[in-house]
Structure 1
Amino acid sequence: MFFPQWLLAGALALPAAGMAAEALSLSPEQARTLGVRFQTLTAAAALELSAHARVVLRPDAQAVIAAPYAGAVPRLLVALGQSVRAGQAVAAFASPQFYEARRALAEAESQARLARQSLARDQSLYDEGIIAASRWQATQARATEATAMAQARRAELTASGLQLAGNETLLLAPRAGVVTEVLVQPGARVEASAPLLRVADPKALELDLLLGREVPLPRVGDRVQVSTRNAIGQVAGMAPVGDGSAGMRVRVALSQTGALRLGESVTATLQLAQDKADNKAQPTAGERQRIPAAALVHWQGQTGVFLATDQGVHFAPLAVEASDEATAVVRGALPPQARIAVTGIAALKGLLAGGE
């Protein structure tokens, strides 16, 4: 780039060596002549970014009611959209395996009862010195095994979610909520573990955000807001998208669901908290700031901005975290109310290079 000799000789005082590290003295008249315009950056407690979000259920907000054994569903007792209580009967269920499990439980409880009686008898005999210690130990082992078997049979029946009601066996809801899916027809035969119904709490919502590679990543605990729905939450976790796009999935736990509805798509505002140094007068090198993309300068292998200070204009290196055609998100130690050049960048680069 070519600059008039009068401007190079008298308008700016350039150092003879180490010019990139020195400040250039630039008057307002000289800035106007070169077309240099500065913009003052306004400090903010947080950097706000907009992102697309989908309203989904929390992982703990839904439950699948599955067939505990192979059998049949003679009738359904609830319908789609119906509210149910925890422990409420949702379907009739018929399976020979259920009765076999009850028989096995009765047998195990009977064996455990006999083992306890033998244990009490042999303990008395052992205390009187009538039987050997080996027999007493064998009786203890049998009692322990019988008790464990009864507990296992009892746990199996409890986990099945089935309950006898007269001559009918009923399948119970494991949690309260609304029936969101009915996956079986009355009278159908099903295999063990086949899903029959899905129950969910429609108020237990969270946000699922998808951030592209050009967007700076939030941190766990950063505030998220959906102003159009009066919803507020915080970033609870992040995971990379497995499609090779370098995107990130962000899970937002909501403290206030507002008017959000399951399944809708909304625009969420992320407030990326700034790092705070002990000395509040000087930002740390880790702070994020949004600046005009036109202000970015590539100089001697570094990226930064031209910063105006009391000593003049100098190059300030920054770490660019994300950028598009309009704005860039950077990290760096910019002073409060920093004034950076947004036009005339080429002229300033030429002056730093000695006007060549």
Structure 2
Amino acid sequence: MKRILFLIMFAGVSCNALAATVLPLSAAQLQQMQVQWGPLQAQNKGLSASYPAEVVLPPTQTRVVTAAQGGLITQLSASVGDMVKQGQVIGQLSSPDLVALQSGYLQSDTQARLQAQALKRDQALFQDGIIAQRRLQETQSAYETSQALMHEHKQTLQLAGMSERQIQQLAQKRTMQNGMAIIAPINGQIIEQQQAVGARVDMATPIYTISNPKPLWLMIQVPLAQAQRLKPGNMVRLPKQHLSANIDTVLRQLNKNNQTTQVRASISQGAEQLSVGQIVEVALVENTAQASFTVPRSAVARQGEQAVIFVQQAKGIAVTPVKIVLEQDQQLIVQAALHGNERIAVQGVAALKGHWLGLGGE
């Protein structure tokens, strides 16, 4: 009979329970209900709960510096951890193969010069009618062949590490060098040194690995329901580091074990505060006009789909509707029309809910 009466009372008040916004309870009643109060903790504006993220170096920002030719490493002027600039000389390589390449280029360059002179001469003779057109065509063909061979040898020298200026000096001074500079291909930090001074290396042997630490990626593990509300361009924040990043993409591959997906964000400004492989906490930024607050799970009472908290006021206890943004462990993040300096009930909430629904109290 008591159970039937309870259900009847519950049904009678549930329809108008939300209309009751203030409970006029005395201090004695609150003490009898064992209600305890705590401060309302405001969230950073627009931030959701924190999610774990791994700091990752984009693969496009790493270069391996290799030996352009086989030879002997005679000098290395940079070490692991050093920052280098694109085009900076970071070592020297002595290579007998380079001498042979230069010799081949000089020979082809000389031949191209001779063929250019022969073509000029035959063009003049043809105009004077001294030689036949066939002779001019043969000279023209020999000239074009010599030019192609010269450019082939020049390109080989460029692949071997010689700059355009060095090749021009070689053609002018006809003086060969047996050493070549090891050049940094990008701005960045040397993260690995694979060879030492005095090592003999073959062509394409790795010498250094250089990485540019800007920007970095944040691979964020986000619950599927939250990830579906995100899109490229949204901002995320690292509250502890006071940094911001922008979302690049939301991966549509779900982790079936924990029902999360990865969200990738890029960070440039302040990236030097982070280390590759570091695990950080990242908060998503939500565009909302209402303030967000962190409350204990025990402070929230639910009535159907409605969630409320009980706010201490001078005239009584205000039953305040809240929107639950995220549930995490023993804390909830909620949105509510509050200022942030209020005190809320953190214990005795079940008794307050019963009084609110007319199921108890005096």
Same fold (TM over 0.5): yes
CA distance in 2, matches of 1:241, 1:105: 58
Per-residue deviation, 1:92: 0.9
Contact 2:93–2:179, Cα closer than 8 Å, also in 1: yes
CA distance in 2, matches of 1:172, 1:95: 16
Superposed CA offset, 1:263-284 (max 9, x none):
796x96767555254xxxxx2x
Contact 2:48–2:333, Cα closer than 8 Å, also in 1: no
CA RMSD of the aligned region, Å? 5.9
CA distance in 2, matches of 1:304, 1:106: 87
Code of the aligned partner of 2:287:
D
Structure 1 unmatched runs, 5+: 126-138, 278-282
Contact 1:223–1:234, Cα closer than 8 Å, also in 2: yes
Decide whether aligned partners of structure 1 residues 343 and 88 sit closer, same or farther in structure 2, where only a CA change above 3 A counts.
same
Q: 1:171 aligns to what? A: 181
Contact 2:98–2:179, Cα closer than 8 Å, also in 1: no
Superposed CA offset, 1:27-75 (max 9, x none):
1328614344565454753549778888887878764211235x23353
- In terms of mean alpha carbon deviation, does 247-256 or 289-298 score higher? 247-256
Give the one of 288, 294, 297 matched to 1:290: 294
Decide whether aligned partners of structure 1 residues 159 and 316 sit closer, same or farther in structure 2, where only a CA change above 3 A counts.
same
Instruction: Percent identity, please.
Output: 17
- In terms of mean alpha carbon deviation, does 303-312 or 85-94 score higher? 303-312
Decide whether aligned partners of structure 1 residues 341 and 114 sit closer, same or farther in structure 2, where only a CA change above 3 A counts.
farther
CA distance in 2, matches of 1:66, 1:111: 32
Contact 1:208–1:252, Cα closer than 8 Å, also in 2: yes
Code of the aligned partner of 1:92:
L
Give the one of 190, 195, 201 matched to 1:184: 195
Decide whether aligned partners of structure 1 residues 221 and 150 sit closer, same or farther in structure 2, where only a CA change above 3 A counts.
farther
Q: 1:67 aligns to what? A: 67
Decide whether aligned partners of structure 1 residues 172 and 157 sit closer, same or farther in structure 2, where only a CA change above 3 A counts.
same
Report the secondary structure of 2:350's partner residue: helix
Per-residue deviation, 1:253: 2.3
Contact 1:66–1:193, Cα closer than 8 Å, also in 2: yes
Code of the aligned partner of 2:339:
Q
Superposed CA offset, 1:293-323 (max 9, x none):
22234442x3733355999526544332x41
CA distance in 2, matches of 1:237, 1:149: 51
Q: 1:304 aligns to what? A: 307
Give the one of 265, 269, 282 matched to 1:254: 269
Q: 1:235 aligns to what? A: 245
Give the one of 321, 324, 328 matched to 1:318: 324
CA distance in 2, matches of 1:96, 1:149: 18
Contact 1:104–1:153, Cα closer than 8 Å, also in 2: yes
Decide whether aligned partners of structure 1 residues 25 and 303 sit closer, same or farther in structure 2, where only a CA change above 3 A counts.
closer
Per-residue deviation, 1:88: 1.9
Decide whether aligned partners of structure 1 residues 25 and 198 sit closer, same or farther in structure 2, where only a CA change above 3 A counts.
closer
Q: 2:129 aligns to what? A: none
Q: 1:135 aligns to what? A: none
Contact 1:221–1:236, Cα closer than 8 Å, also in 2: yes
Decide whether aligned partners of structure 1 residues 46 and 153 sit closer, same or farther in structure 2, where only a CA change above 3 A counts.
farther
CA distance in 1, matches of 2:201, 2:12: 86
Q: 1:80 aligns to what? A: 79
Report the secondary structure of 1:254's partner residue: coil
Give the one of 13, 23, 26 matched to 2:23: 26
**TM-score, normalisation: structure 1:** 0.57
1:346 aligns with 2:347: no
Per-residue deviation, 1:25: 4.4
Structure with the largest fraction of helix = 2
**Rg larger for:** 2
- In terms of mean alpha carbon deviation, does 49-58 or 180-189 score higher? 49-58
Structure 2 unmatched runs, 5+: 127-139, 167-174
